Structure 1
Amino acid sequence: MQGKHKKKYQTLTRIVFIILGAALSSIALEVFLIPNNIIDGGIVGISIMSSYLTKVPLGIFTFVFNIPFFILGYKQIGKTFTACTLFAVLCLSIGVSIFTPIKEVTHDVFLAAIFGGIIQGLGVGLIIRNGGSLDGTEIVAIILDKRISFSIGEIVMFFNLFILGVSGFIFGWDRAMYSLVAYFIAFKVIDIVVEGLDESKAVTIVSSEYQEISEAIMARLGRGLTLLDGKGAYRGVPTSVLYVVVSRLEVAKLKSIVNDFDDNALITVSGVEVAGKKYKKKAIH
């Protein structure tokens, strides 16, 4: 029974956050971006241009243009992702219709691009974090990623740069550039919402001063670490390799600690997903 209640709670939580994400995205579009002729990327961007040219409500285009991608996603990716995306797009289509009558907050295009991008990033980030998407182009990108060498992010970027370029012919090149600003801000905010400010980074350090560095990391960062046995391939000299997991906000401080002892140390940083209580910081007294 506990498992069923937990699953219902998770489903309800997902629904609430997708609705909230779609509402935020609708506000960003109707209150900040669209009144200032700034567009979003992907299918939403195409829908904005189509609505501007035909005077047909944006919500209709947003839903209709995504239908082929729902079918493609259902066949190629899976039911859960497609269902969440369908629900998110439906909420967005309703949301933009609700918020259309609201007057824009600012006529300053630069401010509209900044705050519209932030709010749009928050909305889309919440939807992605809860298993959905607002854009059919991401479904295409996921499918193409298995067939070509470009990453999902690169494919989406190519789509969006093309769409933003087309918008220059419709709204003017200055608006296209403002759209690019809003897109870049939204992209960064999405990254923060999805990964979190406390995103984990795995850091590997190769240095002859490993003992002093490890003691300093434990003392100044409060992080535990692991010493791995290693050997240089050129000289064959045995050494220890330090492996530590920190938040991305701690990476700069970690590099500073290492450089205090060894300017020539080799440091590699990569993103990781961490599970387990051992990752928690120890108190620094």
Structure 2
Amino acid sequence: MRDIQNYFDRHLYIGRIGTAFIYAVMVSVALNYFWTPGHIYSSGITGLAQLFDSLSQGLFGFNIPVYIFLFVFNVPLIIAAWRSIGHRFAIFTTIAVLLASIMIRVIDKPVTLTHDPLIDAIFGGLVNGFATGLALRNGISTGGLDILGILIRKRTGMRMGIVNMTFNAFIMLAAGLVFGWQFAFYSAIGVFVNAKVIDTVYTRQQKMQIMIITDRPKTVVDSIQNHLRRGITIIHGAEGAYKHDNKDVLFTVISQYEQYEVTEALAESDVHAFMSMWRVDKIQGNFYEPKL
């Protein structure tokens, strides 16, 4: 049994490292092919690194490249992740940040695909947002605001995209004051697109309430709890208005990415059951979240 667990853990680690590499390549493309040629500032720590890269000549008398700032700024956040989120999460975050810094250096020849800063802002946000959401969905962080966002979300329930946009208001303000409001406004558009794509791809933080009407409650509950770890409330004595037969109503709350497991569990236990799902903006109480 231990050998089987080690086998799955090994493949999980390989998958996460592969995801970290994909993220690194995509963020390098976003930075070097869109943001840098368009004079667009990214979100989060990457945007902060860009800002310090632009100011480093005046501050230090010599230029310090983006990838150096990107890694240095992430070090204290990785330490916080190690202490508060999980050791494996922190290790894979370090791998993702290190690979991103390396790939930004390797792909260090900006290619001007377009001279339109609006297109650069939108497509840079799309590429980076998808990469960030993909990394988070596979249990790793890209560093920076991803770590800060997860810590805040665990305490307040606030969405990752909202945390991202709140912090980035500072980046946009600084960019506007230093380099001109035109590029700050374009950068704000890119940040908005980036945040929306993250929320679309990374669905762990999005909660859904499930209502199931069935005449086989025990079978359905057992099947759902075999697929995922969720508490379920049962309301007995419901009555169908059409045939006036006895039914039971089940309620539970899941993460959006778990809806496929619930659908599969219901198909196995009661193909005639009725199920509805709807988004939940906020929950309070004990809600289990798998350790990252």
TM-score, length of structure 2 as denominator length: 0.67
CA distance in 2 between partners of 1:174 and 1:280 (Å): 54
Q: What does residue 95 of structure 2 align with? A: 87
Kept in 1, the 8 Å contact 2:203–2:256? The answer is no
The code of the aligned residue for 2:5 comes to G
Residue deviations 1:240-283 (CA, integer Å, cap 9, x gap): 998799xxxxxxxxxxxxxxxxxxxxxxxx9573324245597x
Kept in 2, the 8 Å contact 1:138–1:152? The answer is no
Shift of the 39–279 alpha-carbon distance from structure 1 to 2, 3 Å rule, reads: farther
Q: Where do residues 221-260 of structure 1 align in structure 2 (5 Å cutoff)?
A: none
CA distance in 1 between partners of 2:153 and 2:122 (Å): 30
The code of the aligned residue for 2:120 comes to A
Q: What does residue 151 of structure 1 align with? A: 158
CA distance in 2 between partners of 1:161 and 1:43 (Å): 13
Q: What does residue 181 of structure 1 align with? A: 189
Q: Where do residues 66-81 of structure 1 align in structure 2 (5 Å cutoff)?
A: 66-81=74-89
Q: How many residues are paired up?
A: 231
Q: Does 1:138 align with 2:146?
A: yes
Q: Where do residues 86-165 of structure 1 align in structure 2 (5 Å cutoff)?
A: 86-144=94-152, 149=156, 151=158, 153=160, 154-165=162-173
How much does 1:169 deviate?
A: 1.3
Q: What does residue 66 of structure 2 align with? A: 58
The code of the aligned residue for 1:33 comes to W
The code of the aligned residue for 2:190 comes to A
Shift of the 141–272 alpha-carbon distance from structure 1 to 2, 3 Å rule, reads: closer
The code of the aligned residue for 2:8 comes to K
Q: Which runs of 5+ in 2 are unaligned?
A: 57-62, 213-233, 240-246, 272-292
Shift of the 96–280 alpha-carbon distance from structure 1 to 2, 3 Å rule, reads: farther
CA distance in 2 between partners of 1:43 and 1:101 (Å): 21
Q: What does residue 8 of structure 2 align with? A: 6
Q: What does residue 36 of structure 2 align with? A: 34
How much does 1:45 deviate?
A: 0.8
Kept in 2, the 8 Å contact 1:25–1:120? The answer is yes
Deviates more, 1:181-190 or 1:131-140: 131-140
CA distance in 2 between partners of 1:146 and 1:203 (Å): 22
SS of alignment partner, residue 195 of structure 1: coil
The code of the aligned residue for 1:74 comes to W
Shift of the 203–47 alpha-carbon distance from structure 1 to 2, 3 Å rule, reads: same
Q: What does residue 258 of structure 2 align with? A: 273
How much does 1:171 deviate?
A: 2.5
CA distance in 2 between partners of 1:176 and 1:105 (Å): 20
CA distance in 2 between partners of 1:19 and 1:77 (Å): 22
CA distance in 2 between partners of 1:40 and 1:73 (Å): 22
- CA RMSD of superposed structures (Å): 3.5
CA distance in 2 between partners of 1:172 and 1:150 (Å): 35
Residue deviations 1:140-186 (CA, integer Å, cap 9, x gap): 34445566x57253443321122222111122112111111111212
The code of the aligned residue for 2:169 comes to L
SS of alignment partner, residue 90 of structure 2: helix
Deviates more, 1:182-191 or 1:11-20: 182-191
How many percent identity over aligned positions? 32
Q: Give the one of 30, 44, 47 matched to 1:45.
A: 47
